[in-house]
Amino acid sequence: MEEDKRTVCVTGGTGFIASWLVMRLLEHGYSVRTTVRSDPEKKRDLSFLTNLPGASEKLQIFNADLNDPDSFEEAIEGCTGVLHVATPMDFDGRESEEVLTQRTINGTLGILKACLKCKTVKRVVYTSSASAVLFNANNNNGVDIMDESFWSDRDHLKFPYVNSYMNCKTLSERAALQFAEETGLDLVTLIPSFVIGPFLCPKLPGSVLNMLAMVFGNKEDYSFLLNAPMVHVDDIARAHIFLLEHPEAKGRSLAEIKGFKLPGLSSKKLMDTGFKFKYGLDEMFDGAIRCCKEKGYL
């Protein structure tokens, strides 16, 4: 893939990780197509994407929605790589877990089917979550480190308020890997822990809000600071591109820098493939706080 640097698709382009990934892909010389969910009630301001260096020549934005997986076909057609970052978020519990999970799985499988259909996609990178790894019986067995061989089990979830999200990410990642095995689609998954750092998107990312709980005075989120493995957003973007460009990487890869009370998460597989992290905790928090000040959140 590295010698091609042609056109890639990033789903969910307005999100924290995806918008940063779009920026880095443009810097790496890729032509980028990204998808955004249309809002019938108001026109979305996408200037934070369209004003990126190189965007006027190499960025195309498409409307697509996980409720209609076929809507991604136009954006994927002709691409050499797809980075599927988009995921539904409903921490307020407005949708049932069953509805949210099925929408996530159907959307993911629909995107993967579009990748097969277009015949040009050489690799798909699927963005999973550490919530698909951490919550299992080993939490009760004194395990200090978990890697990508571990899977979450909803029966052992200790934090009910993330139950729907955990279940969505676990089942959709399993479905994606199974689909790839059955069809021969070249797919790898990347498993970020809590992502923190500066952000391009106008909306304050939830993980940044959680990790800056003491700065914002959100006492109800203080527990996150004792239980959170973390990674810098730029390392996650770079890891996506690394996996896109290195065909020897296979299966699941886990990315984290620092962990506290929960079992630590091992990135050994990703680093053994050749990826190197650039950022530590100081850069994560300094960048996040500076960005919050610039955007008026602090």
Phi, psi of 46 (to 5 degrees): -110, 20
Give 3-state DSSP helix, strand, coil % of the chain, rounded to 5: 45, 15, 40
Q: Which residues pair with 61 in a beta bridge?
A: 34
Q: Does residue 296 come out as left (phi exceeding 0), alpha (psi in the -120 to 50 range) or beta?
A: left
pLDDT tens digits, residue range 23-77? 999 999 999 999 998 776 667 889 999 999 999 999 999 999 988 989 999 999 9
- Counting Cβ atoms within 10 Å, is residue 46 exposed (0-12), middle (13-18) or buried (19+)? middle
What sign results for the dihedral spanned by CA atoms 250, 11, 204, 166? negative
Instruction: State how far the Cα of 218 lies from the Cα of 209, in Å rounded to an integer.
Output: 9
Strand partners for 16: none
Whole-model pTM: value is 0.89
**Per-residue pLDDT tens over the stretch 97-148:** 788 888 889 999 999 999 999 999 999 999 999 888 877 766 555 667 777 8
Packing angle of the helix pair 97-118, 163-183 (nearest 10 deg) = 30
Task: Decide: 256 and 231 in contact? Cβ < 8 Å.
Answer: yes
Q: Scanning the structure block, which residue is given the tokens 């921490």? A: 91
For residues 65 and 87, the answer to whether their CB atoms sit within 8 Å is no
Sorted by where each starts, the structural domains of the chain and their CATH numbers stand as: 7-196+230-280 (3.40.50.720)
Per residue in 239-261, pLDDT tens?
999 999 998 999 988 886 554 44
Residues forming beta bridges with residue 292, ordered by sequence position: none
